[in-house]
Amino acid sequence: MTGTSFKIAIIGSGPSGCFAAQFLRKAWKDAEITIFEALPVPYGLVRYGVAPDHQGSKSVTAQFARLFEREGVRFAGNVTIGEDLTFEDLAAAFDIIVPATGLGCDRRLPVEAHPDCPVIGAGALIRALNGHPDMALPAHADGLPRPLGARVAVVGNGNVAMDVVRLLAKPLDQFGGSDIDDTRLAALRRRGVARIDVFGRSPIGAAKFDLSMFKEILGLANVRVSQSGTAACPPCDALEALSAAEARSANGALSIHFHFGAQPIALLHGPHGPLLSVETGDGIASHEVDSVITALGFHDSRPSGHPCSAQSWSGAQVFPVGWLQNGGKGTIAANRKSAKETAGEIAAAAKDRHLVPAAPGFAAVADRIADTLVDYEGWCRIDAHERATCAPGRPRLKLTDRAEMLAVARALPRDADGTDRPHAAH
């Protein structure tokens, strides 16, 4: 019985995909809605972007869980569109397609690589600290990330940059209520981060961070704050908070220096090691660094034409949402707003009969993904496992190994000590 209700495929289970499902469900009680997700676990950057010590911001997942538990939305996890199914497969099976794949890649700083000073994207760093299964940081043979060293430069002045500074500065014993990957955090900070230089292009009054994010750093008991580049700036809330922190924090063991109106231009070989060369209104200065972390926004890592690149997913039935659609701007709430607008456009297109229910829906692709699929029950098993295995006070201990995630999702037999049998992983 096709042709009676819309069959909708949403690609990506981050906030924009989940909010789109919410609004489409409100528009059509009877639509068949499937959310395809490349990972075996849902929620995109809510799980792997939002900082692990900001659990309050992760609590939107309760809304999204309701979609799968009560609203009849299907979770089709561990299915990458472009690999496990092609976009063309989806286009044939569904009436409406909503790409919500986000932007997976950190925007790079245009400096030449340096053998002794890794340049790491903030998204990759926070993904690792959020326990992502594909860790993309410079690593030792044992899989643990290399220490960042004592002197870390953070480039960028948005909220993601502030997340990085806080995660690297806050005492290790103050991550109590978080679900941070303690092992990776300790490995990254093993040499002891002693100094963080934060470089922002704008003057302080135009810096993109939220004041509350900035104040959270200024309020850390163990830091000594200093700054440059604000002499000519008119008073603003951020400057007031910074000046107050500067005055009271002289004894902190970890030094954080905020450079405003400062743009890194090159990574050089200095006599004692790597030097980050930075241009300011006063000329060019060099800073000794052991690692550079860039928080300069995000882009699509895949060239257009790549089967997984959403750039090549187009047609009258295709309605992109979220970071993919807007170039990586905005908070979780902004995605709700844009998903609402897009759902409105979809409903209007249906009203004008530009979209007509005719496609067979999920049943037409089910067989092809039966072997890889992790459904909502599978995710619930991972979720329960993560909640059961964490230390007291922690919300969860994330599984970081894909094979283990799949074994738990499929409830494959596990040895008494809790580890997987080698053959059970696939």
Partner 1 sequence: MTKILFGTESGNSEMAADDIADFLNDNGGEAEVVAMEDYDVADLAAEGFAVVITSTYGEGELPETTQPFYDALKESRPDLSGLRFAAFGLGDSTYETYGNGIDIVAALLAELGAVQVGETGRHDAAKTVTLTDAATGWAEGLQPTLAA
Ligand X SMILES: Cc1cc2nc3c(=O)[nH]c(=O)nc-3n(C[C@H](O)[C@H](O)[C@H](O)COP(=O)(O)OP(=O)(O)OC[C@H]3O[C@@H](n4cnc5c(N)ncnc54)[C@H](O)[C@@H]3O)c2cc1C
Residues of the shown chain interacting with ligand X in the complex, contacts defined by CB under 6 A: 11-17, 36-39, 44-45, 49-51, 54, 57, 80-82, 100-102, 123, 126, 160, 163, 308, 322-324, 330-332, 335
> Cβ atoms within 10 A of the Cβ of 64, count?
24
The residue among 18 and 239 lying less far from ligand X, judged by its C-beta, is 18
Residue 325 as a binder of partner 1 (CB under 8 A): the answer is no
Place of tokens 């006599």: 271
From residue 161 to residue 200, what is the string marking binding to partner 1 with x (rule CB under 8 A)? ----------------x-----------------------
* Piece of the chain touching partner 1 by CB under 8 A; list 139-147, 181-189, 207-215, 264-272: 207-215
Q: Which does 62 bind (CB under 5 to 8 A by kind): ligand X, partner 1, ligand FMN, none?
A: partner 1
Q: Is 92 in the site for partner 1 (CB under 8 A)?
A: no
Q: Rounded to an integer, what distance in angstroms lies between the CA atom of residue 166 and that of residue 29?
A: 44
233-292 binders of ligand FMN (CB under 6 A): none
Contact 39, 78 (CB under 8 A): yes
Query: Cβ closer to ligand FMN: 48 or 199?
Result: 48
**Interaction residues for ligand FMN, span 294-333 (CB under 6 A):** 331
With CB cut-offs between 5 and 8 Å by kind, which of ligand X, partner 1, ligand FMN, none does residue 55 bind? partner 1
Determine which residue in the list 29, 56, 70, 234 makes contact with ligand FMN, applying CB under 6 A: 56
Show the site string, 216-255: x = touches partner 1 by CB under 8 A, - = not. x---------------------------------------
Q: How far is the CB of 269 from ligand X (least distance, A)?
A: 31
Contacts of 420 by beta carbon, 8 Å cutoff, 6+ apart:
403, 404, 407, 412, 414
54 lies in the binding site for partner 1 (CB under 8 A) = yes
Residue type, 394: R
Shortest CB 331 distance to ligand FMN, Å:
6
111's CB contacts (< 8 A; 6+ apart) are: 119, 264, 265, 266, 267, 292
Binding residues with partner 1: total (CB under 8 A):
23
State in angstroms the smallest separation of the CB of 256 from ligand FMN: 22
Say how far apart CA 156 and CA 161 lie, in whole Å.
Answer: 6
Smallest separation, CB 210 to ligand FMN (Å): 6
Query: At closest approach, how far in Å is the CB of 332 from ligand FMN?
Result: 7
Establish if 62 lies at the interface with partner 1 (CB under 8 A): yes
Instruction: Please select the residue that binds ligand FMN; options are 27, 133, 146, 210, rule is CB under 6 A.
Output: 210
CA atoms within 13 A on the CB side of 220: 26
User: What is the contact surface with ligand FMN in residues (CB under 6 A)?
Assistant: 56, 210, 331
Which residues sit at the interface with partner 1, rule CB under 8 A? 15, 19, 22, 54-57, 59-60, 62-63, 66, 177, 211-212, 215-216, 331-333, 336-337, 395
